[in-house]
Amino acid sequence: MAAMHALLSGFAPIWLLTGIGYAAGRGGLLGEQAESVLGRFVFHVAMPAALFTMVSGSRLDAFAHPSMVAFAAGTALVSGLGYAAGRRFFGRERAEAAVSGMASGYVNSANLGIPVAVHVLGDASFVAQVILFQVLLVSPVVLTLLDSGTQAAGPGGERPGGGLRRMLTMPVRNPVIMASLLGVAVSATGLRLPAAVSHSCDVLGAAAVPTALITLGLSLHGGPAERAGGAAHSGGAGGGPGRSAGRAEAERGTVGLKTLVTRRAGAGGAAGLTTLAARHAEAGVAVALKTLVQPLAAFAVAGPLLHLPDHQVLAVVLCSALPTAQNAYIYAHQYGLDTGLARTCVVASTVVSMSTLSFAAWALGPSR
């Protein structure tokens, strides 16, 4: 009963804020550019503040724990499978395949993981380690793939500025990575920031999750950019050029889906899957990886392989069964990519995870 109450209390803000965003979009309350403006605010301002506050106040030695090995193994497996499926079976370019990988393995550890952990596990210490792992290790990998995959190729197909130089300068250009690195520096040196500075970061960072959920809700109604067929967003991530190729990038993904699934449907006039069906199939694969394969993989590593104590196995499986974080949508939106997959995975995995989280708490909890 307590576990179910924890799930409901954790899911309620997600549905409520997303619903408010949808209602605001449907009523035109915030204007036609609200989705784009709020998305940039989250990515460039609120999220960096939240990440800096969290990382700077955390102990970086938390990774040296067998439980994190189990969680990391499950995350790496399903993220890799999601990326490979996007590239191999759905014809995605590198950047959009990175979104597929993120939608498959990046868990909603903050606004859902913390309340679930507090009520089911009794504390949120392991969730804090998960958050650090995703911020410091998973996000830089995803953002590097997005950054390298969304730069317009010059004559001959080369990347402007050189791939190595862009990779080395990415922390300076990307506010999410820069904020995380600054947080690491503060934590490692034991520096204490002035109260006014730390409090300002707390207040600003607190806006990240609710604003991201409002933005997600706006996208469910279908903003002007989506109705225009994936028109470019103004301002690339990390100060780069605007994504004028955003629409072309989305169209290439659609063409790749349609061509590939039609070819695989067989010759002789057999009807191929429609593009819409292919998109649903891609989302279904990502949601299945997120809500089923990831917790099962984490359980296999934590239990039979590492023989962790029961309470640690429960913590690893619960965190692995959390739904896709709204960061996947924010990243796709900021880089001018087709946001349909990320949006669908966030919503669908949140619905499915209510069952998988409940089952994990029942099967692995102390009362089993």
User: How far is the C-alpha of 170 from the C-alpha of 151, rounded, in Å?
Assistant: 13
Residue 324 has phi, psi (to 5 degrees) of: -60, 135
Q: Give the angle subtended at the CA of 80 by the CAs of 79 and 84, to the nearest 5°.
A: 120
Q: What pLDDT digit, counting tens, does each position of 290-317 carry?
A: 999 999 999 999 999 999 999 999 999 9
Distances (CA, A) of 249 to 90, 95, 310: 14, 9, 46
What integer pLDDT is reported at residue 63 of this predicted model?
Answer: 65
What integer pLDDT is reported at residue 120 of this predicted model?
Answer: 80
Most confident of 58-72, 80-94, 259-273: 80-94
What integer pLDDT is reported at residue 56 of this predicted model?
Answer: 87
Q: How far apart are the first and last CA of the chain?
A: 13
What integer pLDDT is reported at residue 265 of this predicted model?
Answer: 43
* Token representation of residue 237: 């991530």
Does 345 have pLDDT greater than 90? yes
Q: Give the chain's domains with CATH numbers.
A: 2-151+161-224+244-364 (1.20.1530)
Smallest CA-to-CA distance from 120 within 339, 284, 364 is with 364
Lowest mean pLDDT, pick from 120-134, 144-158, 211-225: 144-158
| Residues 30 and 223 sit within 8 Å (Cβ to Cβ) | no
What integer pLDDT is reported at residue 289 of this predicted model?
Answer: 97
What integer pLDDT is reported at residue 76 of this predicted model?
Answer: 97
